[in-house]
Chain A
Amino acid sequence: MSDWSDPFVHLHVASSYSMRYGACPPEQLAARAAELEMGTLALTDRDGVYGVVKFARACERAGVRPMFGVDLAVSPEEGASDMPALAARAPRSRTPVRGGMEVDRRLPRVTLLAQDGPGWARLCRLVSAAHSTGGRGTPVVTREQVAEQFAGHAAGMFVLLGPQSEVGRAVAARRPDRARSLLSRWSTVIPRPDLLVEVVNHRGEGDAERAAAMVALADDAGLGAVLANSVRYLDRAGAAVVDVLDAVRRLVPLDGRHVDRRTAEGYLKSSKEMAEVAEDLERYVGGARVRRLLAETAVVAQRCAVDPRADLGIDEIHFPELSVTSGAAGTAGPSGAGSGSGQEADADAILLLRCEAGLHRRGMTETPAVRERLTEELSVIRLLGYPTYFLTVAEIVDLIRGRGIRCAARGSGAGSLVNYLLGISDVDPMRYGLLMERFLSPLRRELPDIDIDVESARRLEVYQAVMDRFGTERCACVSMMETYRARHAIRDVGAALALPAGEVDAIAKAFPHIRASQVRAALQDLPELRASGWAEGPTAERMAVFFRIVEQLDGLPRHIAMHPCGLILSDATLLDRTPVEDSFLGFPMSQFDKDDVEDLGLLKLDLLGIRMQSAIVHALSEVERVDGAVPDIDGAPRDDPDTFGLIQSTRTLGCFQIESPGQRELIGKFAPETFDDIIIDISLFRPGPVKSDMVTPFLEARQGWRMPSYLYSGLESVLRETGGVIVFHEQVLRVVSIMTGCSLAEADEVRRSLGDPEGQEEMRTWFRPAALAQGHPADLVERAWEVLKAFGSFGFCKAHAAAFALPTYQSAWLKAHHPAAFVAGVLTHDPGMYPKRLILDDARQFGIAVLGLDVNCSEAEYRVERVSPTEPRTELCTAPRTDLGSNVGWDPGSAPRVDAGSDPGSDPGTDAHCDQAPAALPPGQNWRTAGHGYGVRLSLSDVKGITDQEVQRIVSGRPYASLSDFWLRTGTSRPVVERLVMAGGFDSVHGIASGRGVTRRDLLLQVGDLDTWSRSAQRMTRGRSRSRRGGRLHGEPPGPGLSDMARGSTPAPVQLALDLGDTPTDVLPSGLPEMTDPERVRAELEILGVDASSHVLSFDEPMLEELGVVRSQSLLQQRSRAEVLVAGVKVATQTPPVRSGRRVIFVTLDDASGPVDATFFEDAQGEYAATVFHSWMLLIRGVLRRTGPSGVSVRATGCWDLTVIRQVWERGGIEAVYRALEAADPAEPGGSSEAPATRRKVLVHPTGFRMSPYADIRPAGGSTTTAPRRLWHSSPGSAGG
């Protein structure tokens, strides 16, 4: 039936989606199969079907028929432990003295292959079962679970027992008796034709004998046998990679003992090579039997006929049933089990009804335009068959709003009137000229994207609500595959090669966040890495091997995680089409990623948690708590002068989307005046427009320096809003439509094609004749085409920008009217790009007091407190601090000074100040004083190491009369109490600031005494109550149930006789010095991550003065091209794309008087890049450049770690510092760091824009948003060390 020349079919193939096991992506496997002229190929990944959709797509492209299966772990049979070689290594009873339990139990495995649609559905459910039985990360099925699928009917699955099955291992252990009995257990539960013995011969020592024994075993049992190759890699070269993967998976060093393979034969062999493999067996079982083995393999392959479309459901669409979607909507109940078309008609009717209701609810006048638009949108929706989709999304939005959670639609969905009427989006598309075609087009049969933004803090609550509403049989989270990039690959390979942990860490951190395949290129390209010396010296050879392996891991999946925002919804058959496993947070998670899910036609809803929404909610609740009324932020007029006054001042730190240095520069020049301006601003500040320099012509037209050019009058209506510059996708659509007379839907197809060169060329050949045919003159057509081409794929969807503009406006509105509450919200939910310390600093500029940590006042969140207007000066603000606004468009002279006394007109105590500006201030300037009389209290949650339970106990047990009272009643752990003391949490309790003679150090000793006392008290009662330390309140007397009762909200303040001080007066001065100001700031940074009491730089003043360091506020007065020294805390490091294609490092320092921007061009990077990336406080030498009328930047020529310079200064004075600065200069400037220009790699964008491959990549080193924990001990340039 089959002869030797027939193509072989690989039935057991692991792709890279077998995490840390397979080395080859499914696409390459499919392509290789086609090359080898194999018409069929199976994919049987370990523990899941993660790669199935990509495999099916790749097979489609390659012309290969796919087979689908899975390789699952099976829990070993009872009694397996008597054969250590068989099953898992016998679990050791003892916990190792030092962590490091073995992580891979090496369970036996079986392979399942789906024969048909129902078989695939069962396979999916079995995979889900494996994950739910085995627990997260260790999926395993039992034989019984497999058998269940076969109970009473054909299951549509083959079960293959190969060398890794228990049967196979028994054969390998030369225990044929046991192999037979194990096999017979399987054959009693699996029907004979579906149970197969898998024969594998990797041609190692004894492999052929074992394979032959497997054949004999099958014959004995009367079972079929198939030949497979247990493929893990594409070709022999991949064998080294799987060795590393074995080591990485088991978290052990690379060593023969830990590696599974013995030969390099487990690759996708050709038919001829497999014939040779089979031939090996002839010696043992005879030629006829071998031929039968191959024939059986081919038959099995033929019987696996799962169709990617009909059976997997690719390109089908599966909405939730209408009965589910509209069940709770209270509309006329359609027949739940109605036929497809009946359901569709019902859904359509319901949708129309809801839209009609929406017209009234939104208060829209039914103009013909509105009516026409609605009819058109509904007809497209009907045509595409999506009414249920919209109803489902509307249902979910209702569900979210019903729980009082803020939510907003974003993305192109905001362009749809239907979405607006259903309440999904809050932006009126008619008013802002948004188009539906960008969102939904009859020309595209793909599901539209509706993204819903919700409060980040309640995102999981939303997930849970949706799951509850639709049921986990219809709903799951989307997963995402994290793949190896440089840093992870370096860490894992480093561990496998047993490099010292510290060294691995240093190497990993020295690289920017690039792809793993780029590490050796980066070693060549980046001066700081060239300087590291890894490529030369005694270790060069070892490191070369190391980096080569690192590159081989590039892009391999390493970990599956829950996608941060995707939910899929389907009908009750969802789990037939996707296996689910538990995410880290316990939500069911599909094994498919967002692209797969789209291919499978599952309704995907992006529910994105937006921190700003949570910040807004927190701010609103703080306003209500402190001032008594919730401002109506959603109803606030969108032309508020104060809000725009604030925006124009560029003091927008913390505001959504407009806080970055670049954005503040842009709004400084742009000066937005209306909500539409904000939409334009957000759209302009994108890489595309910035790269293609669309900003300048826009600003020139906007400022009236240049007449806008509209190409021709017919386009004026389209381009007027943006001064003749194309900013929005919507404008592209309209321009194309007007020029060629095509429909908007067709125009959107044109827009999509502009993204790549081929598409551009194609469109050009279509556009010119089409436009000429409309009667436009040739030169206009040419110019219009040039504009469209230049626009490329850059512009921005206006609907998306409009949706974004709303939280932008609202956050600015809050900052203008309730700055203290706004800051509290921002600090609590951390939505922005800046470190908290900078936000706090900004708050001070607004006259808001920063109130220190206080166990009697601080809570889990940042709180607003009313303070007397003079308080900010006395409370904490010791160092005079000035504005940290933008360096552009900000005039230092007009900066508001924190001086409430000079501002008698403002009364922050009333709500009226939100609406009406006091007479003293011009309209739109009220924001400058809105924060006076308020303070922001630091939160307990920021204390390092504090637990949520501790915070909760502290808050509920207030007030505390003393440290010992606190100790006894809260049960807070000693290190946390000590940190609270050091950060000043007990200052007010013990009157430390008032100079009663007690110091924080005295309290620290008291904590020690209390701890000693508690321990001895516990020891005394240990006999009766052996409770865990830390699990009980300090000093709490033992007693049944008391410790449970006492914890949490009702601590039982049982005071034992305490011979130590238990009242504040008993804390005795111990003679220890009080903390100095620098010590306080240092403690604050280490404990809270913020320098609350004064700027961290203020203690370096004498040195900076002596060095002649120029401060931010005086930089403007320096003459251009002067050499200057600047210093400060690094708040941002960016390597943005620049036109030259070189890597440029932009650094922003905060020097307590404002921001300082410095730029490192390539010639200055060699010696200094490592310092820039790895130090937190910097001293930078450079040449002053003027970037505009009120902007300056420093072109850096040198850079040093300020903490190191401080040490030098302390030891050797100013002369030593000068010597150190000189010593750092290379003998020949730029000599060693120059990279030959020819070698520089450049990425070329379709539009011709060139950029460095290291642009826009998160740079080396740690994050700038958090202060290093051990600031004063950090060593410089540790990356190389």
Chain B
Amino acid sequence: MAEREPVAGREPPDDTDCTVLHADMDAFYAGVEVRRRPELRGLPVIVGGSGSRGVVLSATYEAREFGVRSAMPMSRARRLCPQAVVVPPRMTEYASVSANVMEIFQSVTPLVEPLSLDEAFLDVAGARRLLGSPTAIAELIRARVADEQGVTCSVGVAPVKFVAKVASAASKPDGLLVVPKAEVLAFLHPLPVSALWGVGEKTEQALTRLGLHTIGDVAAVPEKTLRRALGEAHGGHLAALARGQDPRRVVSTEPDRSIGSEETFERDTDSTEAVEREILRLSQRVASRMRSAGYKGRTVTLKIRFSDFTTVTRSRTLAEPTDVSRDVHSTAIMLFRALGLQRARLRLVGVRVEGLLDAAAATHQLTLGERDRGWREAELAADRAVHRFGRNVVRPASLLPGTETTRVSAEGP
């Protein structure tokens, strides 16, 4: 966490060509929780699965002081910071705050590229005439988010996306950093290579082995050498980034259309029966959500996370789109059984359907001898019953109480 660049007090930075903003919420989930419970302000707060099994989803800066990080197992986080207040996640709440924040962004420019619930790129080139300099726009966004949503965000202002993203990280928390075009290289070069976009642990190791520790080191090496070391595409890409060049434009895209759901088991399990039961439950939930949203999809993806956090995904594309639980389930089960797991302990299982289309547009080819009213109709009837009488009225026999496993839930969009 770097010190915030003092914006006032000296010559305002030249933001002439800095039309890309990266806005990133500060400790987003934890911020939302503190907003709801002001007595938590100034305390170490951790949002995450409450059991001993969960992982940290978000932590306030007070908690980070103790070494708590996102994605850390909760048991470790609790040991590092026993006094932290642990709050279970409320994803719907975060989603709604996020939607409001994105709306603020949208009101500034239509060119908003959300990266996740809590961060987005904005291209403000066209908004300057109306709203003033990029710096002014960034301040405006920060003020509105803080006033209207009660949470803070940090904004990086730079000529290109990558630099803006690095700048927002450098200004955290609750900061603003403008990197004028002329100062891009001076800003980037002292930073460690891991700050480069696309440099994960593995690439970092490769670069370190070559004696390249900072972005400046990378910039000083002939591009040809980088291409040799990291491959044509990756090497060329990093060379450009290290020179402050990033050809990617801000494009307003909608997130990939898919519906999925996943569950972390209360304790790692090697029980095939338990996993298959969970797959059934997830398949039902996913298909039901598809039906209520009016989507059908063709690709079913199964995700398995093992006890050591390694993850495998397997997917299969169906002959035609479906929103029938039974189809999703049978495909997911088939994918699971194909893994042939015997003693492996599973931490999490997830089911997702991708390639969504509007149900109305989806074609359905009748096969010979097919019953007119099939599973889909039965499930739609069940949906209606659930809608009327609540969640527990209709469900498969294998999910009757007694077979229940306690779960920590983290649901996707």
Contact = CB atoms under 8 A, between A and B. Distances in A.
Interface in B210-243: 210-212, 217, 220-222, 224-225, 228-229
B228 A251 contact: no
Interface in B261-285: 267-271
A1010 to B, nearest CB: 11
Interface stretch (A97-105, A758-766, A1126-1134): A97-105
A1073 B342 contact: no
Contacts of B75: 500, 503, 539
B289 interface: no
Contacts of B267: 253, 498
A305 interface: no
Contacts of A503: 75-76
Given A255-B271, A537-B82, A94 B211 contact: no
Contact of A95 (B212, B340, B345): B340
A103 B52 contact: no
B3 interface: no
Interface stretch (B157-165, B185-193, B304-312): B304-312
A1071 B222 contact: yes
A1281 interface: yes
A571 to B, nearest CB: 46
Given A1008-B229, A1009-B228, A542 B52 contact: yes
A97 B312 contact: yes
Contacts of A501: 307-308
Interface string A414-443: 000000000000000000000000000000
B307 A1071 contact: no
A255 B272 CA distance: 13
B78 A538 contact: yes
A1207 to B, nearest CB: 13
A538 B77 CA distance: 12
B343 interface: yes
B1 interface: no
Contact of A1004 (B209, B268, B343): B209
Quick one: which of A96, A1009, A1074, A1075 has the most chain B CB within 10 A?
A96
B210 A1001 contact: yes
A1219 to B, nearest CB: 15
Given A500-B307, A1005-B229, A1070-B221, A982 B52 contact: no
A250 B211 CA distance: 47
Interface string A956-981: 00000000000000000000000000
A100 B344 contact: yes
Interface residues of B, number: 38
A100 B343 contact: yes
Contacts of B52: 538-539, 542
B73 interface: yes
Contact of B220 (A95, A1008, A1071): A1071
B182 interface: no
Interface string A1069-1082: 01111111001000
Contacts of A909: none
Interface in A59-108: 92, 94-103
Contacts of B210: 1001, 1004-1005, 1072
B341 interface: yes
A7 to B, nearest CB: 44
Nearest to A533: B79
A1004 B78 CA distance: 43
A996 to B, nearest CB: 18
A844 to B, nearest CB: 27
A252 interface: yes
Nearest to B225: A1070
Contacts of B344: 96, 98-100
Given A537-B78, A1281-B79, A1072 B225 contact: yes
A1280 B224 CA distance: 46
A251 B338 CA distance: 22
A96 B341 contact: yes
A1223 to B, nearest CB: 13
Contacts of B319: none
B340 A94 contact: yes
A403 interface: no
A1280 B79 contact: yes
Given A533-B79, A1008-B228, A1070 B222 contact: yes
Interface in B326-341: 338-341
B341 A100 contact: yes
B79 A537 contact: yes
A257 interface: yes
A982 B82 contact: no
B228 A1005 contact: yes
A538 B83 CA distance: 11
A478 to B, nearest CB: 33
Contacts of A103: 343
A860 B192 CA distance: 39
Given A257-B271, A498-B267, A1073-B217, A1079 B211 contact: yes
A252 B210 CA distance: 43
Contacts of B343: 96, 100-103, 250-252
A101 B342 contact: yes
A498 B346 CA distance: 10
A985 to B, nearest CB: 15
Nearest to B230: A1008
Given A98-B306, A539-B52, A1075 B211 contact: yes
Interface in A1010-1033: none
Contacts of A96: 339-344
Contacts of B271: 255, 257
Given A501-B307, A1072-B210, A1072-B225, A102 B342 contact: yes
Contacts of A1071: 220-222, 225
Contact of A1070 (B79, B217, B228, B307): B228
A92 B339 CA distance: 12
Nearest to A542: B52
Interface string B286-329: 00000000000000000000111010100000000000000000
Nearest to B76: A1281
A1262 to B, nearest CB: 21
A1245 B221 CA distance: 68
Nearest to A102: B342
Contacts of B78: 537-539
A997 to B, nearest CB: 14
Contacts of B221: 1070-1072
A103 B344 CA distance: 12
A542 B79 CA distance: 14
Nearest to A1073: B211
B211 A1001 contact: yes
Contacts of B80: 1281
Given A1001-B210, A1004-B209, A1005-B228, A98 B79 contact: no
B307 A98 contact: no
A1073 B207 CA distance: 12
A92 B343 CA distance: 12
Quick one: which of B52, B73, B342 has the most chain A CB within 10 A?
B342
B66 to A, nearest CB: 12
Interface in A455-481: none
Q: Give the 10 A-B CB pairs with smallest separation, nearest first.
A: A94-B340, A100-B343, A1070-B225, A1073-B211, A97-B339, A100-B344, A96-B340, A1071-B222, A102-B342, A498-B268
Given A101-B342, A1071-B222, A1075-B211, 5 more contacts: A102-B342, A500-B307, A1005-B210, A1070-B222, A1072-B225
20 contacts: A94-B340, A96-B339, A97-B312, A98-B341, A100-B341, A101-B342, A102-B343, A253-B269, A253-B270, A257-B271, A503-B75, A538-B78, A539-B78, A542-B52, A1009-B228, A1071-B221, A1073-B212, A1079-B211, A1281-B76, A1281-B80
Interface of A: 92, 94-103, 250-253, 255, 257, 498, 500-501, 503, 533, 537-539, 542, 982, 1001, 1004-1005, 1008-1009, 1070-1076, 1079, 1280-1281
